[in-house]
Amino acid sequence: MTRRRRRMPRSPSDLVGGAVLYVLAGIALLGLVGPSLVVIAISFTEKRYISFPPEGFTLTWYRAILDHQQLLDSAVVSARISLVVMVVCLALGLPAAFSLVRGRYPGRSALGAFLVAPQMMPGMVIGVAILFFGAYFAFRQSELMVIIALAVFCLPFVVRVIMARLTGIDPTLEEASSNLGASRSQTFARITLPQLLPGVLAGAAFALIEAFDNVTVSLFTASPRARPLAVELYQLIQFDSSPIVAAISALEILLALVVVLVLARTIGLEGLRD
């Protein structure tokens, strides 16, 4: 909406309405951004417990992460899990998105609804269901079980983002390519994939982050011996009040910010609006 709005004389009720609008939006923005800033500030405190305002400036808590072997191990577990989940979701989601956008078979929209259905499913229910499924087939909680469950949870994100991108691609370019004698694989590699790449990357980034951060699914499916970072943090938060959790949180916030900025620069966040 770049058009300029006509200036109208404002009545008192308009002024009040405008003020209410800005106050509410201000509270919302403060609520969205504020807590992250508080956590970052706390992570530098010299006190041994959490207090506000933080006192002094120290990197002790960041150094403490490096000495916390359990946390480091769980970060490795999480990294491994989320990478595999990302690969599985792309391998399943990319062809599925193609089929849903380009296919010409009956029941296509119903199939699409089925493939994105897990998104409306509470993570906890997916976690419990997979746990029961594993128990029924004598298959224990493990990294593999976390991966299987998280792939169910993340697949809809990947399918939706790639579908949205694919719908926007003009098929005449591909037709021109094949009319000019390119093989199907050449057309896919040279014409389709480059246009699709932003969607694939966004889907991959989402799957990776969702899988890394997820706790509702992982809590039910992870074995106590190899816990993902999110589950480890969940336990730590309840029993440890030292600012080490704030330091880890600050690092995660930073990571999320980097990903958002990269996404904003490369593909734009507008595509993720819905």
Partner 1 sequence: MSAHASVAARGGARRASPWRALHASIFARGLGPALPAVAYLVVFLVVPLALLFSFAFLSVERGVVQPGTFSLAHFAEALGDLLFWKVAWRSFWVGVVATLLCLLLGYPLAYLYTQWGDLGRRLLLIAVVAPLLTSAIVRTYAWMVILGGRYGLMNSLLIDLGLITRPLRILNTDLAVIIGMTQIHLPFMVLPLIAALAARDPDQEDASLSLGASRVETFWRVTVPQSIPGITAGCAIVFALSYTNFIIPQLLGGGNYATLALQVYEFVIVILDWTKGAVRASLLLGSCFVFVFVITWAGNRAMAWSEKRAS
Binding to partner 1 (CB under 8 A) within 127-146 occurs at: 128-136
Cα separation, 127 vs 99, in Å, equals 28
Please work out the total of residues on this chain that contact partner 1, with binding judged by CB under 8 A.
104
Cα separations (Å) of 5 from 1, 2, 8, 122?
9, 9, 9, 43
Alpha helices in the chain (DSSP H): 12-42, 60-67, 69-102, 108-116, 123-136, 143-167, 171-179, 184-187, 193-213, 218-221, 229-239, 244-266
| Options 68-76, 160-168, 189-197, 261-269: segment touching partner 1 (CB under 8 A) | 261-269
- List the one residue from 105, 109, 194, 239 that touches partner 1 (CB under 8 A): 105
46-85 burial, b for 16+ CB within 10 Å, e for fewer? eeeeeeeebeeeeebbbeeeeebeebeebbebbeebbebb
Least distance (Å) between residue 190 CB and partner 1: 18
CA dihedral 130, 136, 142, 148 (to 10 degrees): -40
> Which residue in the set 81, 86, 146, 151 belongs to the binding site for partner 1 (CB under 8 A)?
151
Query: In the complex, what is the shortest distance from the CB of residue 252 to partner 1, in angstroms, rounded to a whole number?
Result: 5
Distance in Å, CB of 24 to partner 1, minimum: 4
Q: Which of 191-204 are b and which e, b meaning 16 or more Cβ less than 10 Å from the residue's Cβ? A: bbeeebebbbbbbb
Assess 59 for contact with partner 1 (CB under 8 A). no
Q: Give, as ranges, the residues between 12 and 41 that touch partner 1 (CB under 8 A).
A: 13-14, 16-18, 20-22, 24-25, 27-29, 31-36, 38-39
Whether the CB-CB separation of 153 and 208 falls below 8 Å is answered with: no
Q: Which two tokens stand for residue 187?
A: 């057309």
Per-position x/- string for 163-202, each x denoting binding to partner 1 as judged by CB under 8 A, each - no binding? ----------------------------------------
Under rule CB under 8 A, which residues in 37-56 are in contact with partner 1?
38-39, 42, 49-53
Q: Is 102 in the site for partner 1 (CB under 8 A)?
A: yes
Rule CB under 8 A: choose which of 196, 209, 217, 226 binds partner 1: 209
Q: Please, what is the minimum distance in Å from the beta carbon of residue 199 to partner 1?
A: 16
Q: Considering only 60-68, 161-169, 193-201, 238-246, which stretch makes contact with partner 1 by CB under 8 A?
A: 238-246
Smallest distance from partner 1 to CB 264, Å: 6
Query: Could you tell me the smallest distance in angstroms from the CB atom of residue 43 to partner 1?
Result: 10
| Angle, CA of 196, 202 and 206, to the nearest 5° | 145
